């Protein structure tokens, strides 16, 4: 298998050419109803996935199963055409979806959701393929999840096992998710040490994700009542670029908050941390700024890991759009209401 970025990226560019354009997404949004959407699925680029999914599922669930399967196939195809350093870097990139899926499973089991309900919110992409994720979702408790992960020798078993006693005592998911995050970022950054430019780019993206998580922590802690406030350093992930434990502490201190905000003025986090609007909207905008940054890498260095990173994020955007459209048609939402929620600026070739 090739370890040459020229070959790998040529293959990716062929796949990228088949992504839906912003115009195509808009046309789907204008379809009159859910049956019309199903006709598009049957005749469009997802037809093969749709036919397989509808053999086991019906309606909206079949659509979502088809989209999930397509994303997993795309990531496996990306790994299949690469080897050596590119494959290792792509594997590290895909590990973020393993982490997100595991946290979804953990939340669902802790809240006693059914396995099917949990599965509807999964995006299998890395080592944890859908078959494995379903097995995790069927466990009775977090100890069962940890035991299954350990059987598979998945490194994410370690932080989960270490949290079991605390969770059994306090039933608090925050330390569990924080431990998983800290392990993921620490382990990934360790594997990306070195001056090589592709490693540096991947490490930079991880550090930006850490900053994003720490910014959310700072805003969440700022909203707590004084008698509920906890030590911010206990909730910060190490390894970020501009938002570390000291920064979070200063953001929470009225005496130093303004100074720290001025220092962050040129960063993507300033508006989120200083904003007084709807916190959900502000958090969505912060997330989307990072996702768009990743998607734009597709147009960056043509003979580097940038193309693979940008393509995967653009592919995810396409599937997020289609899932949103499927649900809107199923529940009868008007096109004008849903169009504002679509990610058209990163559809197909629109995100340059």
Tell me the per-residue pLDDT of 191-217, one tens digit each, with 9 for 90 and over. Answer: 999 999 999 999 999 999 999 999 999
* 283-97-6 Cα angle (round to 5): 110
Judged by average pLDDT, the poorest of 22-26, 86-90, 141-145 is 22-26
57-84 residues labelled b (16+ CB within 10 A) or e (exposed)? eeebbbbbbbbbbbbbebbeebeebbee
What are the angstrom distances between the C-alpha of 31 and each of 38, 51, 59? 10, 20, 16
List pLDDT tens digits, range 28-47: 999 999 999 999 999 999 99
Where do you find CATH 1.10.132.50 in the chain?
1-81+298-352
346 pLDDT more than 70: no
Share of the chain above pLDDT 90, in %: 84
Of the pLDDT bands very low, low, confident and very high (cuts 50, 70, 90), residue 224 is confident
226 pLDDT more than 60: no
User: Is the CA virtual torsion 306, 307, 308, 310 positive or negative?
Assistant: positive
List pLDDT tens digits, range 79-88: 999 999 999 9
Where do you find CATH 1.20.1690.10 in the chain?
92-191
Contacts of 10-15 with CB under 8 Å at 24 or more apart are 11/81, 12/78, 12/307, 12/308, 12/311, 13/307, 15/74, 15/77, 15/311, 15/315
231 pLDDT more than 90: no
Let me know: does 209 contact 241? Beta carbons within 8 Å: no
**pLDDT value of residue 233:** 82
CA nearest to 205, candidates 92, 294, 289:
294
Of the pLDDT bands very low, low, confident and very high (cuts 50, 70, 90), residue 335 is confident
The verdict on domain 92-191 having CATH code 1.20.1690.10 is: yes
Using CB atoms within 10 Å of the CB of residue 217, give its burial: 0 to 12 exposed, 13 to 18 middle, 19+ buried: buried
**pLDDT value of residue 35:** 97
Q: What is the mean pLDDT of residues 138-142?
A: 96
Q: What is the mean pLDDT of residues 5-32?
A: 94
Of the pLDDT bands very low, low, confident and very high (cuts 50, 70, 90), residue 3 is low
Q: What CATH number was assigned to the domain covering residues 1-81+298-352?
A: 1.10.132.50
Mean confidence (pLDDT) of the chain: 92
């Amino acid at each position: 298998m090739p370890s040459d970025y020229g070959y790998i990226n040529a293959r990716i560019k062929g796949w990228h050419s088949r992504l839906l354009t912003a115009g195509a997404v808009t046309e789907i949004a204008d379809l009159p109803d859910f049956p019309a959407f199903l006709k598009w699925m049957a005749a469009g680029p997802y037809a093969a996935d749709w036919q397989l999914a509808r053999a086991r599922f019906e309606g909206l669930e079949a659509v979502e199963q088809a989209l999930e399967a397509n994303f997993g196939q795309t990531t496996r195809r990306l790994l299949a055409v690469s080897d050596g350093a590119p494959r290792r870097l792509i594997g590290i990139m895909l590990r973020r979806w393993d982490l997100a899926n595991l946290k979804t499973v953990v939340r669902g089991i802790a809240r006693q959701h059914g396995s099917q309900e949990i599965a509807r919110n999964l995006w299998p992409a890395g080592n944890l393929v859908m078959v494995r994720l379903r097995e995790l979702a069927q466990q009775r408790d977090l100890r069962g999840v940890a035991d299954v992960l350990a059987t598979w020798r998945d490194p994410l078993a370690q932080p989960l096992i270490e949290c079991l006693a605390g969770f059994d005592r306090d039933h608090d998911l925050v330390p569990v998710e924080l431990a998983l995050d800290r392990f993921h970022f620490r382990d990934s950054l360790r594997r990306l040490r070195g001056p090589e430019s592709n490693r540096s780019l991947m490490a930079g993206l991880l550090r930006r994700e850490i900053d994003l998580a720490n910014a959310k922590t700072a805003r969440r802690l700022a909203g707590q009542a004084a008698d509920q406030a906890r030590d911010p350093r206990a909730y910060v992930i190490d390894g970020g670029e501009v938002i570390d434990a000291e920064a979070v502490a200063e953001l929470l201190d009225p005496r130093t908050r303004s100074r720290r905000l001025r220092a962050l003025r040129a960063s993507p986090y300033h508006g989120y941390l200083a904003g007084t609007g709807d916190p959900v909207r502000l958090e969505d905008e912060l997330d989307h700024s990072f996702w768009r940054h990743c998607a734009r890498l597709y147009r960056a260095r043509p003979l580097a890991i940038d193309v693979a990173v940008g393509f995967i994020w653009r592919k995810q955007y396409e599937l997020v759009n289609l899932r949103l459209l499927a649900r809107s048609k199923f529940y009868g939402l008007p096109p004008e209401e849903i169009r504002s929620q679509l990610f058209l600026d990163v559809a197909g070739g629109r995100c340059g």
